Amino acid sequence: MTIHILNDEKFSDWVIDAFEKINPGRNVFLMVSDSCTSAYLNDPRVKFLTKKHFLEEVIPTENDLFIFYYLHRHTIDFLVKYRKRSFKKLWIGYGSDYYYYLLRPPYYPSLYREKTLTLFNQFHRRSLLKKWGLKIYQFIYFNFRVRPALLSLDFFGPIIPNEFDLVKNAHAFGNLKQVGFTFGDLDYLFSAYSPTKQKSQLLVNNSATYAGNHLDVLAILKKLRVPHKIILPLNYGDQEYRKYLLDYCAQHFTDQVECLTQFLPRETYFNKVTQCEFVVMGHLRQQAMGNIYALLYSGSKLFLYADNPVYAFLQGLHLSVFTIEQLEDDPSLIAIPLDHAQKERNRQIIYSYYSSEASLQRIKAISSL
């Protein structure tokens, strides 16, 4: 039996449908929530458990494959509790779980550029005592809870393949074997894609999270006097940060920026953002991969920071993508769309990697572990 410990996030509905399509009736879908509610799932196939009942009532057997989506605290507690029991264990990462748990400095550079880091520190002021207390707590918790939990795992599926070595090598997790996995597919994101573009639009990031380095990206666009209408998704993320960005854009960009603040159905959202001819993603870590796959498939010209591992991953697929550093050196790059050949090649590569068939093949491989 495959037991899925789901994450209360987007794409969990896709996970349920995909695994049931490949291995019907051989899956158990659990959501651990003390409120027994979900922000994203309303599926009768999902069983809700409180953390207490999860840790007391779910007992693995040697023929089980447990798949943990996101490294939650209840996941860590479960793995530590049953670390000596023989069963197969797969961790499907989301990105934020391993970058904030495992790849914080010195194992990975800061996720924030100068302007964003200043704002982050302004909103998260701590006394010296609290800062050192937090560091000591994190050190103890990692070494006595997180590390033993991860050493009990068998498999790890990061969002993009080159993140596997980042995690494994940073902490010498020689027990981990790599598993390929992608959340969703092109059909899931939008079933009725229309290639018509409004060529004046430019998309910046995907959410109101500090990791998007919005202030640094917007400062670059302001300096380059980019004329395009800017689409800024702030539908989810940090509410305090979102309010700051709304005020900032109103003050510095007047009517040039359209901030998306209301929830949009998945297909409506992707049909809107893929109308943007140009895209700037300001992350220094893997994030927004569903957006990136959809945008490249639709023919958008994508700019990423060179240090973002997503850039190396996309380059390895031989996609036509560009760096924000290149844009700063040559502002004309954001005035010239991809040519027809570049768009078609990007579409073919993304389809090959992220089609329904390709994503289900990865699910089939996991189901046979």
Q: What's residue 139's pLDDT?
A: 84
pLDDT digits (tens, 9 = 90+) for 31-67: 999 888 788 888 899 999 999 999 999 999 999 999 9
102 has a pLDDT exceeding 70:
yes
2-184+359-367 and 186-355 agree in CATH topology: yes
Determine how many CB atoms are found less than 10 A away from the CB of residue 266: 16
In the chain, % of residues over pLDDT 70 = 97
**CATH of segment(s) 2-184+359-367:** 3.40.50
pLDDT in tens, 148-200: 999 999 999 999 999 999 999 888 899 999 999 999 999 998 766 566 665 67
Using one digit for the tens of pLDDT, what is the confidence trace for 111-135?
A: 999 999 999 999 888 776 777 887 7
- Decide which of 3.30.470.20, 3.40.1190.20, 3.40.50.2000, 3.40.190.80 is the CATH code for 186-355: 3.40.50.2000
Domain segments of the chain: what residues?
2-184+359-367, 186-355
